[in-house]
Amino acid sequence: MKSKFTWILTLALAFFIQFSFAQEKTITGKVVSKTDAMAIPGVNVLVQGTTRGVQTDFNGSYSIKAATGEKLVFSYLGFKSQTVTVGASTTVSIQLEDDDAQMLDAVVVQGYDVTKTRKTSNVSSQTVSAATIEARPNASFIQTLQGQVAGLNITTGTGQPGGNSTVIIRGVGSINGKVEPLYVIDGIPLNSDNFRSLNPDDIESVSVLKDAGATAIYGNRGANGVILVRTKKGGFDSGLKIKFNSTTSFTSLQDNKYNMMNAQQLLTLERSYGQGRGAVGGAAGGPMTDAEIAASPSTDWTDYFFRTGISQNQTLSLSSGSKNLSSFTPFGFLDQEGILKNTDLKRFNFRSNLSGKSNDDRFNYSTNVSINFSRRNEATSLGTGGINQNFVLGANNAAPYISPSDYTDSLTLQSDYANDGTLLLTPLMLIDKMKTFSNRIDELKALASFDGSYKLTKNLTFGSNLGIDYTQQNSQVYQAPTAFNSLLFLDQNGYLGFQSELFQQDIAISTTTRLNYNKTFADKHTINVAAYTEYFKANFKSISYTQNGLDGKVSGPGYGGGYILDNPDNDFFVPTVGSSKASTGLFSYFATADYDFDSKYGVEATVRRDASSRFALSNRWGTFFSVAGRWNIDRESFMEGSVFDALKLRASYGTNGNNDIVNSTYGALNRTRELYAIGAGYQGNPSTVIAQLAAPELKWETVTQANIGVDYELFNSRLRGTFDVYRKRTTDLFLDVPISFINATSVLTSNFGTMTNEGVEALLTYDILKSNSGLNISATFNGAFNENRVNTVSNESGLIDNGLTATAEDHVLNEFYLIRYAGVNPANGNLLFLDKDGNTTETPDTTDRVFTGKSSQPVWQGGFGLNADYKGFFLSSQFSYVADIYRLDYDLSGTRDRENIGIFNVSNDILRAWTPDNRITDQPSLNATNLSFDAESDRNLKDASYIRMRYVSFGYDVPKKMLENTFLKSVKGFVQAENLVTWSKWTGWDAESPRGNDQYQYPTPKIISVGLTVEF
């Protein structure tokens, strides 16, 4: 909150989080940063994942009425200010597939259902098959993909079951706009990137399209790569197959290395520091004696707020096929407990995939319908300093000499708090919240697609595809009138308890119509030419209300009992209502041509014209293209007898467009027009003020990518892999260009600047041992190097200052921009810093910040693994790593903060604090006078590189022979673990996070599971 740019341009990097009471209720009113009590001018707020874009606040401290509704759910996430770039970075690991034996014969899925073999593919893409995704204990298949695909960064920053992951292909490609790939499931382009409601077991394959040759066919939404998901289908002329998967998982917290104190250690410290119970809790208000300290109970609050979560996951699938019809019908059920109490996800899935054809095979059709319902309880206020709201804060920082048995009920707590007055009773307030607060979200997600094609002639096919993506979220937040938090804020609010409910509906419809011509001449020349039109329209609707004031005897989560009605004395009880609506659309036509000569040479080209509803008439249409080619060198005569079984050289070049000005389907829909808004003005009366300045010249952000790659297999295909080099350049970046505050705002969305991502990706599998009946061992490795550089930015100084990070020419996007920390001054125990000229100082200034060369996007990442099997036993493992990545560890600084002594727990590290007798140390004096510079320095900037045992599985696949005379087709049992061990310098709970800084966040768990798969 240094300036509004902190909100607008960074990856939402906040400063140190301050503790305060926070009130959980619909945020209405002004945008004031509660944490530092600062008004922030000019913020546009958007509720997370929605477009309920209360696109409000133009002038800063006024007129933001954030839409009511629980999904604000704290959403600090919810603070998706329209212009916040979520472009965080991340890590990915990769592990090669172990199930397709001969890579170049493997199937490659490309856009619009074009299927090729590895041999004839011209593009850079990678497919992950069902075997890798099935039966993993992750609610979302995206989490499982981590470590599977070269160049794909997947970072999960929350342990919330079904929590979202950040996915970046080949580096962050946009500053303000959308940075995550387009997802296409069975031909349906999705609006959302959250897959908590989908059953991973339904997935047949996931293909990641990386270079322009592959993505150009999705030119209007494919700028950040495309992930194609195909679900399973039944086969024609096949009998009934039944498959049952069952997995039971146990999730638990990963450890940290903060070295926190127990009650005895903390009380002893408090006694010597002269603050807190240790100093005044003894007889007659004096220091506690050793005996008193020894007698104190000691609570590990981490154990209290976190738990070992137990999860069940079952999928039953039926597939069968007759001559003209095949079907695949799975049912799934998942019940996953989060490691944080009061968090969970339950899910029910149903799917029906049908394929049919006419007798003469000329007419083919398929329908894929899935209906998914999930219900989850989410923790709120994560990552905030809300001591009465954030359970993780309680778990990390609560004083251990407070005991859960100190809590009896809300009223007693209120009077205990009144007697104490400090924040010491934080854990008890959180216990109270666990009992009196709920935040539940139901999601209904339906995906339906129809695809039909008819062969007009032998070579000419006409086809059409219709897809619908329907997502509905109903959420409810309830705080009991008897809750401590209700009682506490009674004076401020005038009412007790509240309930809000939010209904959101998101419907996206896409249709594609195609004409395809395919012919092979003289056995060696194959051409494939196609023309398409595509229509896409998405509609959003939400309704919400908040009722303030409930009757304790009859109210409860989710229904309208006990609403206290408005009365003549005041307006507290008037419910707040909200409603919003938005739509957006795209229209395109495009053509592709593909030529193959004898599987030896191939070229293909795509050209398309795209229009977006986001841009003004004059700039509405964009043209994107790609060309790609290959040379199958192994088919040349001179290669005969070489060690190469396959060798293919590929190259591609092309462009893609991005029309998502901000990272949201429904964000920034009309930026080209100057708009006024009617809102609540003085005395709550309606006001008309300017709300948005026009950016009439807005146009497509364009990504141009060049890629050269090699696919190879050697030594009887025992060694195989790919190697790619790329350069991806984004031009006409969507950027909030600073403008003078005289405009009543300080930024204007524009197309400005360029940014480059250059990198190398390698993928390697080697079969160390290969035998038909005995032991097989194979090793896989992949690695990716990506260098991000901002080439030009908008303002005079060439630097966009985000407070803790800055974006500047020739630097990494959002590079940490901090004062250099130089250790503890042996003379007085103060912190020492370097000013910008490199001289030591105890009082640096903002102007002493320098570029650190470090960012929260990894430069290196990848994975490796070892797979072995022996007579039905199998062992597979995956490790993932990221390197050259840095993040601010504010949990660490918080646990070493002297201000917390007497209120919160601290680390034993604080015992190393400077004293006249201990002058050479890394911890400043407890009386240091310049700690205020800490937050702006790189003292807390830590290396977040890690190597993690992402996955290990051991099991037994009963040999087919043994099942021959039973009704069973296959039986497999296994034990597996996720995130079991991590090697990292990072001291916190979890080295993995998409955020540039972390404090009080919900860490991802480690998971141990056992499972069984039976087919019959």
Contact positions with another protein (CB under 8 A) in 289-328: none
Nearer to another protein by C-beta: 633 or 737? 737
With CB under 8 A as the contact rule, which of the stretches 96-104, 229-237, 308-316, 689-697 interacts with another protein?
689-697
- The residue within the footprint of another protein, chosen from 266, 550, 611, 991 (CB under 8 A), is 611
- The nearest distance, CB 484 to another protein, in angstroms, is 11
**CB-based contacts of 969: which residues, under 8 Å, 6+ apart?**
241, 963, 1015, 1016
Residue list 888-917, contact with another protein (CB under 8 A): 897, 899
- The nearest distance, CB 920 to another protein, in angstroms, is 22
Q: Whole-angstrom Cα distance, residue 163 to residue 990?
A: 15
- Say if residues 650 and 603 touch (Cβ distance below 8 Å): no
Residue list 692-711, contact with another protein (CB under 8 A): 693
- Say if residues 516 and 469 touch (Cβ distance below 8 Å): no
Report the relative pairing of strands 226-231 and 238-253 from DSSP bridges: unpaired
Q: Whole-angstrom Cα distance, residue 875 to residue 836?
A: 54
- The nearest distance, CB 680 to another protein, in angstroms, is 7
- Say if residues 156 and 165 touch (Cβ distance below 8 Å): yes
Give the Cβ contact number of residue 4 at 10 Å: 22
Nearer to another protein by C-beta: 259 or 414? 414
- The nearest distance, CB 935 to another protein, in angstroms, is 5
CA 158-163-169 angle, to 5 degrees, is 85
15 near another protein, rule: CB under 8 A: yes
Q: Whole-angstrom Cα distance, residue 542 to residue 948?
A: 41
670 near another protein, rule: CB under 8 A: yes
3 near another protein, rule: CB under 8 A: yes
- The residue within the footprint of another protein, chosen from 99, 674, 810, 922 (CB under 8 A), is 674
DSSP codes, 924-952? --TT-S-GGGGGGBGGGEEE--EEEEEEE
Angle between helices 410-420 and 426-436 (to 10 degrees): 160
934 near another protein, rule: CB under 8 A: yes
39 near another protein, rule: CB under 8 A: yes
Instruction: Map residues 505-544 to x or -, x wherever contact with another protein holds by CB under 8 A.
Output: ------x-x-------------------x-xxx-------
Q: Whole-angstrom Cα distance, residue 385 to residue 237?
A: 61
12 near another protein, rule: CB under 8 A: no
Q: Whole-angstrom Cα distance, residue 132 to residue 145?
A: 8
- The residue within the footprint of another protein, chosen from 308, 567, 642, 688 (CB under 8 A), is 688
- The nearest distance, CB 612 to another protein, in angstroms, is 7
Tokens representing residue 720 in the block: 């195989």
40 near another protein, rule: CB under 8 A: yes
Residue list 408-427, contact with another protein (CB under 8 A): 417-418, 421-423
371 near another protein, rule: CB under 8 A: no
- The nearest distance, CB 626 to another protein, in angstroms, is 23
Residue list 266-285, contact with another protein (CB under 8 A): none
- The residue within the footprint of another protein, chosen from 10, 13, 16, 427 (CB under 8 A), is 16
> Which residue is it, tokens 């790329």?
726
With CB under 8 A as the contact rule, which of the stretches 14-22, 162-170, 273-281, 349-357 interacts with another protein?
14-22
- Say if residues 495 and 548 touch (Cβ distance below 8 Å): yes
Angstrom distances, CA of residue 288 to CA of 270, 477, 492, 900: 10, 43, 37, 19
- Say if residues 692 and 662 touch (Cβ distance below 8 Å): no
Residue list 563-592, contact with another protein (CB under 8 A): 570-572, 581-587
Residue list 803-822, contact with another protein (CB under 8 A): 803
Residue list 64-123, contact with another protein (CB under 8 A): 65
Residue list 765-804, contact with another protein (CB under 8 A): 795-801, 803
Q: Whole-angstrom Cα distance, residue 126 to residue 108?
A: 7
Tokens representing residue 893 in the block: 């600084």
Report the relative pairing of strands 226-231 and 182-185 from DSSP bridges: parallel
686 near another protein, rule: CB under 8 A: yes
Q: How far apart are the first and last CA of the chain?
A: 60
Q: Whole-angstrom Cα distance, residue 746 to residue 41?
A: 9
- The nearest distance, CB 639 to another protein, in angstroms, is 47
Tell which residue, 530, 527, 622, 544, has the closest CA to residue 581: 544
DSSP codes, 337-398? E-SBTT-EEEEEEEEEEEEEE-TTS-EEEEEEEEEEEEEEE---STTS-BTTT-HHHHHHHB
- The nearest distance, CB 13 to another protein, in angstroms, is 12
With CB under 8 A as the contact rule, which of the stretches 210-218, 376-384, 486-494, 703-711 interacts with another protein?
486-494
Q: Whole-angstrom Cα distance, residue 763 to residue 781?
A: 6
Instruction: Map residues 843-882 to x or -, x wherever contact with another protein holds by CB under 8 A.
Output: --xxx-x---------------------------------
> Which residue is it, tokens 């679900």?
231
Q: How many residues bind another protein (CB under 8 A)?
A: 128
- The nearest distance, CB 900 to another protein, in angstroms, is 9
- The residue within the footprint of another protein, chosen from 434, 708, 719, 739 (CB under 8 A), is 739
- Say if residues 169 and 210 touch (Cβ distance below 8 Å): yes
DSSP codes, 889-911? EHHHHHHT-GGGBTTB--BGGGG
363 near another protein, rule: CB under 8 A: yes
- The residue within the footprint of another protein, chosen from 12, 22, 340, 550 (CB under 8 A), is 22
- The residue within the footprint of another protein, chosen from 529, 593, 680, 875 (CB under 8 A), is 680
618 near another protein, rule: CB under 8 A: no
454 near another protein, rule: CB under 8 A: yes
Backbone angles phi, psi at 315, to 5 degrees: -135, 130
Instruction: Map residues 323-362 to x or -, x wherever contact with another protein holds by CB under 8 A.
Output: -----------------------------------x----
- The residue within the footprint of another protein, chosen from 492, 772, 773, 965 (CB under 8 A), is 492
Nearer to another protein by C-beta: 667 or 863? 667
38 near another protein, rule: CB under 8 A: yes
Reduce the DSSP state of residue 562 to 3 states and report it. Answer: coil
**CB-based contacts of 213: which residues, under 8 Å, 6+ apart?**
122, 123, 124, 604, 626, 627, 628, 650, 652, 653, 654, 707
- The residue within the footprint of another protein, chosen from 408, 771, 915, 932 (CB under 8 A), is 932
Nearer to another protein by C-beta: 642 or 929? 929
Residue list 940-999, contact with another protein (CB under 8 A): none
- The nearest distance, CB 32 to another protein, in angstroms, is 6
Per residue in 827-850, is it b (16+ CB within 10 Å) or e — as a string? ebbbbbbbbeeeeebbebeeebbb
Nearer to another protein by C-beta: 741 or 983? 741
- The residue within the footprint of another protein, chosen from 19, 250, 624, 781 (CB under 8 A), is 19
With CB under 8 A as the contact rule, which of the stretches 282-290, 497-505, 727-735, 744-752 interacts with another protein?
744-752
- The residue within the footprint of another protein, chosen from 244, 597, 741, 983 (CB under 8 A), is 741
18 near another protein, rule: CB under 8 A: yes
- The residue within the footprint of another protein, chosen from 489, 700, 864, 974 (CB under 8 A), is 489
Tell which residue, 999, 846, 890, 799, has the closest CA to residue 9: 799
